[in-house]
Chains A and B, each alone.
Chain A
Amino acid sequence: SQKIEQNSEALNIQEGKTATLTCNYTNYSPAYLQWYRQDPGRGPVFLLLIRENEKEKRKERLKVTFDTTLKQSLFHITASQPADSATYLCALGTGNTGKLIFGQGTTLQVKP
């Protein structure tokens, strides 16, 4: 069956460290993968998009990797700050409809 799995346990790290979040999927062939940030009671906010033919994307302190062989994406936040505390969602795009399939999200808590 098709699955998108993100670590359901919260990730707690110290300020200044690098946070690494994982997104694994099975039985999908995504054309692209996206990461979103969601704060409590709010809609998700787009962070990064990476396509199937790209290995890595960066934006300021954020880095995303995409390994279509392992069927995995890693999302890194370097020099983490308490303001980075939120839930991070990965989403797969499989066609040209624009539809996204979301993972359940991982909550990141950055302690000062």
Chain B
Amino acid sequence: GAVVSQHPSRVICKSGTSVKIECRSLDFQATTMFWYRQFPKKSLMLMATSNEGSKATYEQGVEKDKFLINHASLTLSTLTVTSAHPEDSSFYICSAHGQVKETQYFGPGTRLLVL
């Protein structure tokens, strides 16, 4: 089946630093990837849609200069949280769909803690 990996699984950083999270599709090509954020006991909130070779589309209220997304290849998208602050602490999850657009395959998530 379709496997999506994320790295790192957990990261702790100091306030003001930048953190990069990688999302890879391991056994299929992902023309589109999605980045979500999830707070404890809350739903997944879509942050942006990442399309290979073009700029990401951000959802309303998500700062594109704060959350930089790059989808340089058909198997890799990266999310960089720039100048991280404690309120950026959250669970970040990526997903990808390949040929069949309706179904998304999720990565295992990255827990970010900003001190």
Chain A residues engaging chain B, CB cutoff 8 angstroms = 32, 34, 36, 41-46, 49, 89, 93, 96-105
Residue of A34, A36, A98 ringed by the most chain B CB atoms within 10 A: A98
Chain A residues, Cβ within 8 Å of B101 = 96-98
Nearest A residue to B94, CB-CB: A43
- B 5-56 contacts with A by CB, 8 A: 6, 32, 34, 41-44, 46, 49
User: A96: which B residues are within 8 A, CB to CB?
Assistant: 101
Residues of A within 8 A of B41 (CB): 104
| Complexed CA–CA distance, A112 and B104 (Å) | 32
Contacts A43-B93, A43-B108 given; 12 further ones with Cβ under 8 A?
A: A34-B102, A41-B91, A42-B108, A42-B109, A43-B6, A43-B107, A43-B109, A44-B93, A46-B104, A49-B103, A98-B32, A100-B34
Tell me if B106 is interfacial: C-beta within 8 Å of chain A: yes
Q: Nearest 10 pairs between A and B by C-beta?
A: A43-B106, A98-B101, A104-B43, A102-B44, A102-B43, A43-B109, A43-B93, A44-B106, A43-B108, A98-B97
Majority SS of interface residues in chain B?
A: strand
> Is B58 an interface residue when CB atoms closer than 8 A count as contact?
no
Point out the residue from A36, A41, A104 that lies within 8 Å of B111, measured CB to CB: A41
Number of interface residues of B (CB under 8 A): 24
Cβ contact within 8 Å between B43 and A103:
yes
Does chain A have a CB within 8 A of B95? yes
Question: Known contacts A34-B102, A104-B42, A104-B43: does B107 contact A99 (CB below 8 Å)?
Answer: no
Residue in A41, A43, A101 whose CB lies within 8 Å of B95: A43
CB–CB B46/A105 < 8 A: no
**Can you identify 24 A-B contacts, CB atoms within 8 angstroms?**
A32-B102, A41-B91, A41-B109, A42-B108, A42-B109, A43-B4, A43-B106, A44-B106, A46-B103, A49-B102, A49-B103, A97-B49, A98-B32, A98-B34, A98-B49, A98-B101, A98-B102, A98-B104, A99-B46, A100-B46, A100-B104, A102-B43, A103-B43, A104-B43
